[in-house]
Amino acid sequence: MTSPFSLQTRASGLLLHPTSLPGGHGVGDLGPAAHRFAEFLAESGQAWWQMLPIGPADAWGSPYGSSSAFAGNPLLISLDRLAEEGLLAREDASPAAAAPVWRADFARAWRIKEPLIRRAFRAFEARPRSGERGSLEAFLEENAGWLGDFTLFTVLKQRFGASSWADWPPELRSRDHAAIQRAREAHGEEIRFLSFLQYLFFRQWAQLREHCRRKGVGLIGDVPIYVSHESTDVWANPGVFRLDAAGRPEAVAGVPPDYFNSNGQLWGNPLYRWEALRERGYDWWIGRLRAAFRFFDATRLDHFIGFTRYWEVPAGAPTAKEGHWREGPGADLFEKLKDALGSLDLIAEDLGAVTEQVFALRDRFGLPGMRVLHFAFDGGEDNMHLPRHHPPRCVVYTGTHDNDTTASWFGKRPPHEREFALRCLEHDGSEIHWAMIRLAFSSPAGIAVAPVQDVLGLGSEARMNHPGTLHGNWAWRLREGELTADLARRLRELTRATGRLGGGAAG
């Protein structure tokens, strides 16, 4: 699907992950609330809906710990849509009485949804062969390159429980051909169901994307640079990653110590064998971004600095302090991506330990970088996050999913920082969230994005993520009716006043 949206057009948007949408089944999904949010974006003059990675989340609900770089999160499948298609009875899609409404509960949501989706699967299987069955067969064929590995990996994960795939029987760990075939045959029915889940996700996503397109709203996705060791990607492509003979990482990813963290950050993801990828023409990365562009009109490339140099930590090291810098693939990778994919509709997350090499790589391929207003007021007049230093080719955020909400953030700033911010804002501090959104939208930056929590002026209870922690993240949800017509009018007027109205495909 060729995108009609352009990162070159002055516009604005909102950041909201689909799991944060309202609904009655324990977690937001791709159903009616998602379509209504697209309509709110259009009514408020927003051209972009930005979200986090949409793959299967990890046990803590983190979209950055996915078991696949290619699959969709089945929790996002809408029961309402299945009822509309006759695969479920209307009463099956009624709001679940036990479902939490204001916080996402991923485990409970799946306990609600899974048996009902299995019922829909049985109904689908019982239908006479039709165009719909042909659509499923076409989906299976089109996605055979990753779907077979993903469904088998998921089945084996269910079979062996919480253990790492590196602890599986050697023939499965090393993907012995005969053992893999026996496993596929033994678990054929469950594999068909898991394939059906992905078919439903892709179909409902296509419906949502088409609705957004008709409303003039483009979608911005998110691709983390690294993948989880406990993923199909690593198990099925061991030659792409720095693994030992037993399938365990030889070295892992992280970031070095800095002013805020004397131990650095130990992420634990396996690192890439960039030399092997270069010899293969970076085929895995080409496939990964091709998949992302299938879902999104533009994509944020997380930890962009890791493509110029990356922090390598020996496996088993207690902290990231024991790491060292290694050279990344740099322009060689992006030349191959451009040759294979054409236009690179990417946003470079160029935050952190940036160097001139990072900026040079970003600019060589014409990628917009990122600026975050929460970082603008603690470094003096030359701080690159201050709007006066924003180039047109960048995306400015009030805050990101890793930041506190603006209302809470401002209240926690030291006095000198608050005073500097108020001078820059030319503001008295009332409705600080709107003052910061206005500052972002007034910026020279080509694209301006605000989290929905900031539009609503919410406090720290609505924060999406506390980096470095596992529990209590990713759970905030929008309440039904919070995005009012008055709010849409106020946001649209700000968008018009700052020259960002009309940046969507529908104008």
Catalytic residue set? 302, 349, 402
Residue 145, number of CB atoms within 10 A of its CB = 10
Distance CA 128, CA 210 (A): 28
Distance CA 447, CA 500 (A): 8
Distance CA 493, CA 487 (A): 10
- Neighbouring C-alpha atoms within 13 Å toward the C-beta of 393: 12
Sheet holding 309-314, edge to edge: 265-270, 251-255, 309-314, 324-327
> Which one, of 82, 99, 110, lies nearest residue 24 by Cα?
99
| 15 to 20, 52, 315, 353: CA distances (angstroms) | 10, 8, 35, 24
Residues 6+ apart with CB under 8 A from 56: 66, 67, 68, 71, 72, 73, 74, 75
Distance CA 436, CA 385 (A): 13
| Helix, strand, coil shares, percent, the chain, to 5 | 45, 10, 40
β-pair type (11-15, 369-372):
unpaired
